Structure 1
Amino acid sequence: MLSSDYNDVLILFSVIVAMLASYTALDMAGRVATTQGKASKLWLTGGAVAMGIGVWSMHFIGMLAFNMPVAMGYDPGITAFSMAIAIVSSAFALWLVCQAQLPLPRLLFGALLMGGGIASMHYTGMAAMRMMPAITYNPEWVLLSVVVAIAASVSALWMAFHLRNHSPNVKLLRVGAAVIMGTGIAGMHYIGMTAAAFPPGSHSMAAFSGVNNNWLALLVIVVTLAVLAITLIISVLDARLQARTSILASSLAQANRELTQLALHDNLTKLPNRLLLEDRLTQAFQKAKRGGSHFAVLFMDLDGFKAVNDAFGHHIGDQLLISATHRINQEIRASDTLARLGGDEFVLLTEIVDPNDAATLADRLVHVIAKPFYVSRYELLVTTSIGIAVYPGDGENERDLMLNADAAMYHTKNTGRNGHHFFQKSMNANAHNQLQLLNDLRAAIDHKELRLHYQPKFVAPHGPVCGFEALLRWERHGVTLTPDVFLPLAEKTGLIIPIGEWVLNEACRQLHQWHLEGHPDWTVAVNISALQFEQPNLLEKVMEIIEYHQIPPAMITLEVTETTAMRDPENSVNILERLTQYGVKASIDDFGTGYSSLLYLKRLPASELKIDGAFINELIAGSEDASIVQAIIALGKTLKLNIVAEGVETAQQQNFLTEMGCNTLQGYLLGRPMTPAQIAAKPDSEWQAHPANNKSS
């Protein structure tokens, strides 16, 4: 037998090429598995060519590493055929591992075909040397090489199948698998070479007519590495492109979901908005008409939410809305639709069997909302007014049903709040009137329709006049409206804030005018609403107006009702202290009608108490009202407060209040509310006269 040896460098390159070919095979399996259609076929074809050339190159470089003392060559046709065998085997392997499943029988059958293909490629490549006499083979070593080829194929197919999908460590696992697979393929080759025996005198028939191996080794290595590198680079670039495309697609999908969420849901509470509610209403109408079923629309509005929002800020108001939403959701079914229309308005769409079902649900919601809300460090109390419209009967389309439920809700508000009412046809007219009144009231300041009348306040028992109380009037369409007609609506909608600011500004302007006209001792009292009193910039606004009109602060009295002052006593003490430090006087209005705490009352920096007129109406010596008034006066004297009685209409009341120690009297007996022109028309002597002479005022 001819002696032979190996080129260690080429052996090393052959093993490296085997591992690269294995890694390429694993990567291509992942590419084919993650694509579809034409792209999948292209990756299968390209991957088979790259992998086949890689496996064949490993075999060929290993043969070139084999040195013999005779000239060697390779038949081009047979060499090309061996390469074709490698490519076909690779294509079959990639196709097999990219199937949905790889059961054991299929794995073994595939490994048998692939291993046989690799062995065939090897021994066909050996035949390309065209040795004479022919190469002889050791059957045992040949069998072992085939077994190793099949075993390597089993390993390669199993690992390629399980590593074809992307996972967190897939690249590292593929490197490890490529090392195992490459070692197996190289092992098969060198076992096959060991099986070959070259008889003495053997020479290659292709040494002169075939391809010379002097430069073939370098060419094969360079071309193979280039093919494998280009294939992997293309795969990596495509993978990155796919990843970016996937990220972009995912981002677009997320953006679409967010846009849909924003378009159909309220951003704060995540409830359906008006648009989605309209769609659900349409579906409810269609279902009810098909099946003859019933459903109800409950229109809800939170009573007192505006005051919370203005007093504690929008952040607390938002948290209150979220808490209210959570409570309502706990009381309704998953099939119901709760939507927020904006502000503190909610609509509940619910399927019912009987109208009593809607009433029962509304009653539960009223009770659950009335419980205290604990938001941040505050305990907040609000209630809810609910209007109910039922289909069929209360509307034949979405718009009518919603309008009627809204009208029923406003009826609930106008009849005391904190409850629910079913829609009745008469409510539409009331709702329309309220809406028109509200629209007109919004424009009243700009159209200069608001007026101030002034009711004089006299030193008991009958003068002189010590000041006036500013009373608001609205000249609407030629009719003078008193505050009880429009102020509740102004308070509910928040219009009381700009209206109250206008009142204070106009009262100060008029007082400045009176001072210029020779009445420097006159004062003006202005009522401050609950919402105004809770404004964080109240002091700054009062100071700004007083300084603008150049009024001594002590000539202005701000009247705050007892109920308003006791709503948050600590805050009330703080606000009134700041006002009195500036010089403004404070009066506790309607005293005796609320629930005062003497602990806080003695701390309130007020200068006067104003007895509510309800105690004056039936004032008779020895009566219960007389006892109450006497107790209030005694309390005021103890606290060193000026006592003002309003609603004095008879001389008997005048005398009785004076005897009990009342400091100031106000009422129709002494003087009715008048316009500034009427006050100016009276001579100064009128303000000193006996009250009986002022009845006509």
Structure 2
Amino acid sequence: MTLKKPQDNSMVVERLNWQVKNNLLKSSVSRAELTLNSISDAIICSDLQGNVDYMNLAAEQMTGWKLEQAQGRSIDQIMPLIHDNSSAACQNPVSLVLKHSVPVSMVPGTMLVRRNGSTVAIEDSAAPIREPNGKISGAVIVFHDVTAALSLAINMSYLAHHDALTQLPNRVLLNDRIEHAISLAERRGSSLAVLFLDLDKFKNINDSLGHTVGDSLLQSVAQRLSACVRHSDTVSRSGGDEFVLLLTECRSTQDAALTAHKLLVSVADSYQIGQHNLQITSSIGISVYPDDALTAQALIKNADTAMYRAKHAGRNNFQFFRQDMNIWALERESIENSLKQALERQEFEVYYQPLINLQTGTITGAEALLRWQHPEWGLTLPERFITVAEESNLILPIGRWILREACLQARNWQDEGLAMSSMAVNISAREFYHADFVSGVRTILYETNLAPGWLQLDITERVLIQDTTTSTDILNQLKVLGVQLAVDNFGTGSSSLSELLMYPIDVLKIDGSFVHTIRERNGNSKVASAVIAMAESFGYKVIAEGVETPAQLEFLRHQHCNEGQGYLFSGSVAGAEFTKLMRTGLAT
């Protein structure tokens, strides 16, 4: 048996160790590369000369260059950068890193020009690559697409300064523009005007037709307002149905007045919203810098005050701010606060004015009229507070209260055997177009046990023509209940008798302004004569309002007018006194 010399395994072991280390290194490099290719940020590495030696997949996709194509090429060629505003070339952060050996952030607004010529907004930073001994061997830049983030930021900024419904500037942007305009006006010694516009009785449309129709109407109004002013002016939506306009370089109050008139005419033109033909008016208040105020907030506040004065003056008009309006504004605020407590404190009363058969002189009905027993003012007529009640929505509970009280009183008179054909109650536009108006009337009739035929609802001509489609629908529903329907103050609106035929009405109440034209005994009023004759031919009962003289009474009798009311017979009186009038009768 021959013995072999032991083999020297040191070379084998060394080779095996080298292979293991090499495999581990390859494995580490492979794993690192997998990791870099898995992240969404783009990564590009360069050598000390700024030439690309590595790109991950995200960088390839962002730049449009493949790694094998980009290697050895300048970083400026692979990822050229420009400014988003000027499109001028900007220095690549890699160049700055290699020059100064410190991390560098990308300039805001940097755009990457891709290989195909398209651009993309990017951001992030570059840093030096250091060896274990501390020496710099190159640079690395990390960046990502911020287009979506920038778009979101721009959109958020837009929404923060614009109204989402109309796309008009909101109050924040308006204030900024007014302050800027004030600064310019102060330096130039010029003036500017702020107009506060509010749509009249817009809530009626929202209540009756819903917010979708209301929103469409607001959008249409916004377009019309914008078309009425110069490009340098600002139309903003303050909220709800309120718009504020800034007129820059306003040379005189006449300029503001002309613009306000133009706005009123444009807004008042009819709107076709879906199947609805709508009409609406507006009220405008105007304040002028520097005469009325010196700050944006004060200018808007004073214009708002003047706008409410325009509403008080009858709506569909404009008013310039005056210092004495502040006193009126304080009174208005006081009225609103007192109204909120008046129902709880039972300060309201119902007075009644008799309706008279003009041929016989007998009382045929009553009109319920609201009175306020104010703790300081005493017995107060609606003229002083009804506008505030309508604008603050307090008219809804107040209207519901007076309707219930009138029905209760009518039922009591009925139980006492006092014959009447009707109890008339005035209905405001806010009540009429409210969603639960018809059901509210039905409930009150049921709870008071009043026969529907006794109740007469007086709706003005102006209310009915706001939306003829909806008005007809509501009137038909009321007609089903069995109540009497009257057009109040006929002649003060823009409709004709023939247009009224579309409504299921029973009574036509001629506005007192026509009756007042009958001044002399045997006097004549062609308008009143024509209205009475046509109404009679249509089968309407005709009631003349505001009868004050024997000559007027004689004329109306001669024209065969059915009924009348006015101070010739009696003013409005409390329920107990009205009961006496019905028992004793009236001398006519």
Give the TM-score, by structure 2 length: 0.69
Who is 1:671 aligned against?
570
Q: Structure 1 CA distance, aligned partners of 2:260 and 2:449?
A: 54
Contact 2:170 2:238 in 1 (8 A): yes
Out of 53, 60, 75, which is 1:99 matched to? 75
Who is 1:34 aligned against?
42
Structure 1 residues 611-626: aligned runs within 5 Å: 611-617=510-516, 618=518, 620=520, 622-625=522-525
Who is 1:558 aligned against?
457
SS at 2:248 equivalent: strand
Is 1:430 aligned to residue 328 of structure 2?
A: yes
Who is 1:297 aligned against?
194
Who is 1:345 aligned against?
242
Out of 460, 465, 468, which is 2:366 matched to? 468
Q: Structure 2 CA distance, aligned partners of 1:365 and 1:465?
A: 48
Deviation at 1:268, TM superposition (A): 1.3
Who is 1:524 aligned against?
423
Higher strand share: 2
The 1:604–1:32 alpha-carbon spacing in structure 2 relative to 1, beyond 3 Å, is closer
Partner amino acid, structure 2, of 1:512: R
Contact 1:461 1:655 in 2 (8 A): no
Give CA-to-partner distance per residue, 1:64-103, whole Å, 9 cap, x none: xxxxxxxxxxxxxxxxxxxxxxxxxxx9997623511279
Deviation at 1:323, TM superposition (A): 2.0
Is 1:488 aligned to residue 420 of structure 2?
A: no
SS at 2:304 equivalent: helix
Q: Structure 2 CA distance, aligned partners of 1:593 and 1:342?
A: 31
The 1:317–1:443 alpha-carbon spacing in structure 2 relative to 1, beyond 3 Å, is farther
Contact 1:28 1:47 in 2 (8 A): no
The 1:163–1:536 alpha-carbon spacing in structure 2 relative to 1, beyond 3 Å, is closer
Deviation at 1:320, TM superposition (A): 1.8
Who is 2:346 aligned against?
448
Contact 2:43 2:55 in 1 (8 A): no
Partner amino acid, structure 2, of 1:406: D
Contact 1:29 1:94 in 2 (8 A): no
State which drifts further: 269-278 or 514-523: 514-523
Structure 1 residues 148-163: aligned runs within 5 Å: none
SS at 2:75 equivalent: coil
Give CA-to-partner distance per residue, 1:441-500, whole Å, 9 cap, x none: 344333433221012234445554333210111223342222233333444454433332
Who is 2:224 aligned against?
327
Deviation at 1:653, TM superposition (A): 4.8
Two-structure CA RMSD over aligned residues (Å) = 4.6
Who is 1:687 aligned against?
582
The 1:512–1:326 alpha-carbon spacing in structure 2 relative to 1, beyond 3 Å, is same
Who is 2:479 aligned against?
580
Who is 1:230 aligned against?
none
The 1:665–1:494 alpha-carbon spacing in structure 2 relative to 1, beyond 3 Å, is same
Deviation at 1:327, TM superposition (A): 2.8
Q: Structure 2 CA distance, aligned partners of 1:601 and 1:529?
A: 19
Contact 1:515 1:522 in 2 (8 A): no
Give CA-to-partner distance per residue, 1:297-328, whole Å, 9 cap, x none: 22222335334334432212211222222233
State which drifts further: 262-271 or 595-604: 595-604
State which drifts further: 341-350 or 665-674: 665-674
Contact 1:32 1:40 in 2 (8 A): no
Contact 2:277 2:469 in 1 (8 A): no
Contact 2:544 2:563 in 1 (8 A): yes
Give CA-to-partner distance per residue, 1:269-311, whole Å, 9 cap, x none: 2223223333333334444445655433222223353343344
Q: Structure 1 CA distance, aligned partners of 2:512 and 2:557?
A: 15
The 1:251–1:687 alpha-carbon spacing in structure 2 relative to 1, beyond 3 Å, is same
Q: Structure 2 CA distance, aligned partners of 1:519 and 1:579?
A: 26
Give CA-to-partner distance per residue, 1:206-265, whole Å, 9 cap, x none: xxxxxxxxxxxxxxxxxxxxxxxxxxxxxxxxxxxx99xx68x76665555454444333
Who is 1:194 aligned against?
none
Is 1:610 aligned to residue 509 of structure 2?
A: yes
Give CA-to-partner distance per residue, 1:118-151, whole Å, 9 cap, x none: xxxxxxxxxxxxxxxxxxxxxxxxxxxxxxxxxx
Q: Structure 2 CA distance, aligned partners of 1:358 and 1:599?
A: 39
Deviation at 1:543, TM superposition (A): 0.8
Q: Structure 2 CA distance, aligned partners of 1:31 and 1:100?
A: 23
SS at 1:275 equivalent: helix
Q: Structure 2 CA distance, aligned partners of 1:33 and 1:457?
A: 85
Contact 1:461 1:654 in 2 (8 A): no
Q: Structure 2 CA distance, aligned partners of 1:309 and 1:345?
A: 14
Who is 2:279 aligned against?
381
Q: Structure 2 CA distance, aligned partners of 1:165 and 1:620?
A: 91
SS at 2:486 equivalent: strand
Deviation at 1:40, TM superposition (A): 7.1
Q: Structure 2 CA distance, aligned partners of 1:406 and 1:482?
A: 25
Bigger Cα Rg: 1
Who is 1:263 aligned against?
160
Identity of aligned residues (%): 36
Deviation at 1:540, TM superposition (A): 1.8
Q: Structure 2 CA distance, aligned partners of 1:164 and 1:568?
A: 58
The 1:646–1:386 alpha-carbon spacing in structure 2 relative to 1, beyond 3 Å, is closer
Give CA-to-partner distance per residue, 1:17-46, whole Å, 9 cap, x none: xxxx99x9999899999337xx8789x999
Deviation at 1:549, TM superposition (A): 1.3
Contact 1:33 1:165 in 2 (8 A): no
SS at 1:405 equivalent: helix
SS at 2:165 equivalent: coil
Out of 158, 171, 176, which is 1:274 matched to? 171
Q: Structure 2 CA distance, aligned partners of 1:366 and 1:657?
A: 38
Who is 2:5 aligned against?
none
State which drifts further: 471-480 or 290-299: 290-299
Partner amino acid, structure 2, of 1:388: I
The 1:351–1:250 alpha-carbon spacing in structure 2 relative to 1, beyond 3 Å, is same
Contact 1:463 1:688 in 2 (8 A): no
Deviation at 1:545, TM superposition (A): 1.2
Give the TM-score, by structure 1 length: 0.60
The 1:420–1:629 alpha-carbon spacing in structure 2 relative to 1, beyond 3 Å, is closer
The 1:566–1:334 alpha-carbon spacing in structure 2 relative to 1, beyond 3 Å, is closer
Q: Structure 2 CA distance, aligned partners of 1:395 and 1:49?
A: 63
Q: Structure 1 CA distance, aligned partners of 2:33 and 2:116?
A: 10
Who is 1:545 aligned against?
444
Partner amino acid, structure 1, of 2:433: E
Q: Structure 2 CA distance, aligned partners of 1:294 and 1:393?
A: 9
Partner amino acid, structure 1, of 2:274: S
State which drifts further: 502-511 or 407-416: 407-416
The 1:270–1:516 alpha-carbon spacing in structure 2 relative to 1, beyond 3 Å, is same
Give CA-to-partner distance per residue, 1:152-210, whole Å, 9 cap, x none: xxxxxxxxx99899999xxxxxxxxxxxxxxxxxxxxxxxxxxxxxxxxxxxxxxxxxx
Partner amino acid, structure 2, of 1:561: T
Q: Structure 2 CA distance, aligned partners of 1:437 and 1:25?
A: 77
